[in-house]
Amino acid sequence: MAEGHSLQRLRDGLPYPLTHVHVSELREGQSIGQCFLVRRKAQRVTRGGEPYLEIILADRSGSVSARAWAEATQRYASGFEEGDFVYVEGRSETYRNALQIIVRSIRRLELQEGETGSLPGFDPALLVPTTERDVEEMWAELLELAGGIDSEPLRRLTVSLLEDRAEDWKAYPAALFHHHACLGGLLEHTLDVARFAALVAVQSDEVDRDLLLAGAILHDVGKLEEMENPVAPRFTFQGNLIGHLLLGRDAVREKGKQIEGLDERTLRLLEHIIISHHGEPEYGAARRPMTLESIALYYLDNLSAKLDEAGARIQRDNRAGEFTEWQQEPPGGSRLFKGSLNNGG
């Protein structure tokens, strides 16, 4: 579904009597009076010792930083938490080339509407960033790819780890922020990487197709333990301490003990793909990729993430012209081409 059509459909179907400007369409100097999902909330102190709230607000189109300064912090800080749906009044402004909302008031919806509950007909899904792709279709395709693994033990291992937590695979984001950070994002990202892996396996006689495909499907299985609450995701206790690469290795190892005929050598090679798929220790890898399959998976995983991040930048950018606004990104800044490939428009 095209983004523009989706946003228009959402605007037309809002169940509450408010003007809702999507995060992706916010501009400097706008008055704000609408609902958001609270993704993050942190209490900070200015250099002068004044308390303020640092908040991340979101709707289906994306997220935006917000600040509640001393007076608003004292009045509203205890009235909402991460994962709450809130009604926000304030104003948008630009700070250090990034848009943010200065909050005048912020209240959990139940408080905003009184003891009778939230706004009539309010559907929380309208404010939750969600994949634009059909979840059930993606899930069926991923199961089909997993079912196409020729090695019976690897196939049973992969399918079992998918089916054990099917609903979580369909719901979880792939990340808190950055790439595929939406409901269904983990499934979307996993399917993209698995598709890439299937194509690479066809083109390369040296790569073991079964091992690469199993690694592609299971490389982020640890995120089901690393995160909680997909609507407003945060790291779990074990997610903070251990991280999804090692949690994923553990999940594969434990399930592998139950799979008859799965030899230890194959299992260790699969574990290596999982713990090395970030490529370098500075990016969280427990080992650098040492096999053809792990090298391929590292680049395919990165490709999916970078394409999603670039696509999101292009969708968010509404400035005139064929290039996005300049954005500083290591190792250097960049603009992205967003115009038509056809010079005629």
pLDDT, tens only, 3-23: 333 333 433 444 444 567 888
Task: Find, among 5, 1, 134, 7, the residue nearest to 60 by Cα.
Answer: 7
- Both tokens of 64, joined, read 């935006």
Q: Which residues pair with 58 in a beta bridge?
A: 37, 63
Calculate the CA dihedral of residues 25, 26, 30, 35 and round it to 10 degrees.
100
177: which DSSP letter? S
299-329 confidence digits (pLDDT tens): 999 999 999 988 887 876 767 788 887 776 6
Which domains, ranges and CATH numbers included, belong to the chain?
A: 14-127 (2.40.50.140), 135-309 (1.10.3210)
Task: Find, among 201, 249, 262, the residue nearest to 223 by Cα.
Answer: 249
Most confident region among 53-57, 95-99, 174-178, 341-345 by mean pLDDT: 53-57
Per-residue model confidence (pLDDT) at position 309? 86
DSSP secondary structure, 85-128, as one string: EEEEEEEEEEETTEEEEEEEEEEEHHHHH-TT-SSTT--GGGGS
Per-residue model confidence (pLDDT) at position 314? 80
Check if the beta carbon of residue 31 is closer than 8 Å to that of residue 102: no
- Both tokens of 60, joined, read 């289906």
Does 64 score more than 80 pLDDT? yes
Q: How many other CB atoms are there within 10 angstroms of residue 342's CB atom?
A: 6
Q: d(Cα 263, Cα 211) in Å, to the nearest integer? A: 13
Q: Is 287 exposed, middle or buried (0-12, 13-18, 19+ CB in 10 A)?
A: middle
Does 195 score more than 90 pLDDT? yes
pLDDT mean over 94-121: 72
223-244 confidence digits (pLDDT tens): 999 999 887 788 999 999 999 9
Per-residue model confidence (pLDDT) at position 321? 83
pLDDT mean over 154-183: 94
**Segment holding 235, helix H or strand E:** strand 234-235
Per-residue model confidence (pLDDT) at position 17? 45
129-142 confidence digits (pLDDT tens): 789 899 999 999 99
Task: Find, among 241, 14, 245, 272, the residue nearest to 120 by Cα.
Answer: 14
Check if the beta carbon of residue 174 is closer than 8 Å to that of residue 113: no
